[in-house]
Amino acid sequence: MTAKILDGRQLAGKIKQELKGRLETVKRETNRVPGLAYLLVDDDPVSKHYIAGKTKACNEIGMNSFVEVLPANILEEALLYKIDSLNARPEVHGIIVQLPLPERINVHRVLERVHPKKDADGFHPYNRGLLFSSHTAIVPCTPKGIIALLKENQIPLEGKHVVILGRSLVVGRPLLMLSLNENATVTICHSKTENLKTFTRSADILVAAIGKPKFVTAEHVKPGAVVIDVGIHQVEGKLVGDVDADSVSQVASAMTPVPGGVGPMTVAMLLTNTFQAFQNALADEAGATLKPTSHLGR
Ligand code: GUN
């Protein structure tokens, strides 16, 4: 068996085209465009690379982007102040604080400072809580992109066993909730999981988000399973994921490539979230009743 490739780049392109059209319509009607702001602490080359990709995507669809690079030694209070000022700017509808932050900075305090209505990443505890209670909320981009990619390829989650490798707040935990909302049976495995292969080999859909290059091999995969690779690493000058694509492609029925799989979907979902926040802001201004964050004020 050679696995079908789940082309994230193609679907992301389609989503961006659609957003571009919707954005042009709103711009014609209101003379307003959405804006996405990025805060990057330190000049980390990997984070810079991610942000360059996100900024390019904004430009492609006509969305404004504002990037601020802050010094590595910035005080936590100064970073919080920066977030406050972005929260107050009406032309900014989405805010991203690029992770990881330096260890001395309390990441929870920082993410809580982003106004939940401008939380393009869906990392604020309020939005995480909404996801937990199955409400619509601003949902973290990578898991949202994974679900969209599965749906686009007519891969049902209902009744299926989804096994997620990695329990991060960015991918594993929100993907657990999204998969449950789709009526999947879900298992999360992590670095302390014993007998890992027992779990991975029972997965109908296996998601690798552990940050270890080529960790998942054919031995981890049930024949015919769908494999989603969230990892991205540079190994000997080549981009590889958490999945050993050469061996897994021989047993899986479908898999995401690296690059061109989950990565572009994450960016497309970021634009989608920002557009959603923008529309909510316009509705707020028009005095419309807002679900579900209406009582939070601005
Ligand atoms: N670092 C790696 N991925 C992400 C992401 O999706 N959002 C933010 N804020 N930082 C990241």
All residues at 6 or more sequence positions from 225 whose CB lies less than 8 Å from its CB, including other chains: 203, 204, 205, 206, 251, 252, 253
- The average pLDDT across 5-32 equals 98
78-103 as b/e: b if 16+ CB within 10 A: ebeebbeebbeeeebbbbbbbbebee
Q: List the single range of 51-55, 58-62, 276-280 with lowest mean pLDDT.
A: 51-55
54 is catalytic: yes
Where does the pLDDT of residue 107 fall: very low under 50, low under 70, confident under 90, or very high at 90 and above? very high
pLDDT at 297: 45
Mean pLDDT over all residues of the chain? 94
Closest residue by Cα to atom 9, ligand 1, is 98
Q: At what angle do helices 172-181 and 141-152 cross, to 10 degrees?
A: 40
Instruction: Report which ligand 1 atom has the smallest distance to the Cα of 266.
Output: 6
Does ligand 1 lie within 6 Å of residue 249's CB atom? no
CA distance 295 to 298: 9
- The answer to whether residues 177 and 131 touch, using CB atoms and an 8 Å cutoff, is yes
276 is catalytic: no
Which DSSP string corresponds to 237-287? TEEE-SB-HHHHTTT-SEE--SSSSHHHHHHHHHHHHHHHHHHHHHHHHTT
What's the whole-model pTM score?
A: 0.94
Hey, what domains does the chain have and what are their CATH numbers? 30-117 (3.40.50.10860), 141-261 (3.40.50.720)
pLDDT at 298: 41
- The average pLDDT across 120-129 equals 96
CA distance 17 to 245: 29
pLDDT at 175: 98
